[in-house]
């Protein structure tokens, strides 16, 4: 298993926000974290990164305890995409993506042609090669988010932790993001992504960790986890899970809130 989380607990000093979460994920899998605001999704990701100290439980990355990994070793294994990022300096998009290669050379070295080529390839993969020479200060929030995703791809990590990466993206780029995550999984990476998009939870071959009040309410396949009963218990909203066919006859599942007594 690339990522093993056992009875993990932790928070910000005033008490545990994450309370006893356990799950595993191997290469080739996407795990979606879902649940209402404040349920602990971001805190869980920060615990997985070692940015917050755990008060209990354990995290193993590629068979090794998280606390035993040096910053360079962790960067070679785990890439992180935050919810949002406001740049301070006028780095170009290419320079920001190239920062994802920092763990592949020493502090005294300059990026090599192979690193620059990897950064350009990551921008091309995300469909934003035209932004390479632009200052990130001039980009929209959604464009900056796509640059951060390209930086993580350029990092060549084995585990990708994404904290609501589609929050500021338009629909087309949101679809491109999901397709990129699916491609990374097919290449043998492990992707853990928090999301508020119900359609994500039915991605082929994914798993869903449904959270409530810092705990795992359910974990497993979408068929096991994404049910009307579980969604109502977690979100407090009546929802139906329906099977529909698109214009090409592909059968898909969708979540719809119930509008009882309303037109």
**Tens digits of per-residue pLDDT, 49-84?**
999 999 999 999 999 999 999 988 998 899 999 887
pLDDT score at 238: 92
Q: What band does 168 get if pLDDT is binned at 50, 70 and 90?
A: confident
More confident position, 89 or 190: 190
Q: What is the mean pLDDT of residues 73-97?
A: 87
pTM above 0.85, yes or no: yes
Residues ≥6 apart with Cβ < 8 Å to 214? 16, 17, 18, 19, 21, 39, 40, 43
Interstrand relation of 29-34 and 190-194 (parallel, antiparallel or unpaired): parallel
pLDDT at 39: 96
| Separation in Å, CA 232 to CA 58, 199, 223, 252 | 30, 17, 16, 21
Please state the separation of Cα 233 from the chain's center in Å.
Answer: 24
Q: What is the mean pLDDT of the chain?
A: 91
pLDDT exceeds 80 at position 263: no
């Amino acid at each position: 298993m690339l990522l093993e989380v056992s009875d993990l607990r932790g928070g910000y000093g005033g008490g545990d926000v994450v309370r006893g979460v356990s799950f595993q994920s191997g290469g080739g899998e996407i795990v979606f974290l879902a649940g209402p605001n404040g349920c602990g999704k971001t805190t869980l990701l920060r615990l997985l990164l070692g940015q917050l100290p755990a008060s209990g439980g354990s995290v193993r990355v590629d068979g090794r305890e998280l606390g035993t990994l040096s910053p360079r070793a962790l960067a070679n294994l785990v890439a992180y995409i935050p919810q949002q990022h406001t740049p301070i300096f006028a780095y170009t998009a290419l320079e920001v993506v190239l920062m994802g290669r920092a763990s592949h050379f020493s502090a005294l070295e300059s990026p090599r042609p192979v690193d620059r080529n990897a950064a350009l390839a990551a921008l091309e993969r995300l469909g934003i090669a035209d932004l390479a020479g632009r200052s990130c200060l001039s980009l929209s929030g959604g464009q900056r988010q796509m640059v951060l995703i390209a930086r993580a791809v350029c990092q060549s990590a084995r585990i990708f932790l994404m904290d609501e990466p589609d929050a500021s993206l338009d629909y087309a780029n949101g679809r491109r993001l999901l397709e990129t995550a699916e491609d990374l999984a097919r290449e043998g990476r492990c992707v853990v992504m928090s999301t508020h998009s119900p359609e994500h939870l039915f991605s082929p071959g994914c798993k869903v960790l449904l959270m409530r009040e810092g705990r795992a309410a359910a974990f497993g396949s979408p068929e096991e986890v994404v049910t009307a009963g579980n969604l109502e218990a977690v979100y407090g909203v009546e929802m139906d899970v329906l099977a529909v066919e698109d214009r090409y006859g592909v059968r898909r599942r969708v979540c719809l809130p119930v509008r009882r007594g309303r037109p």
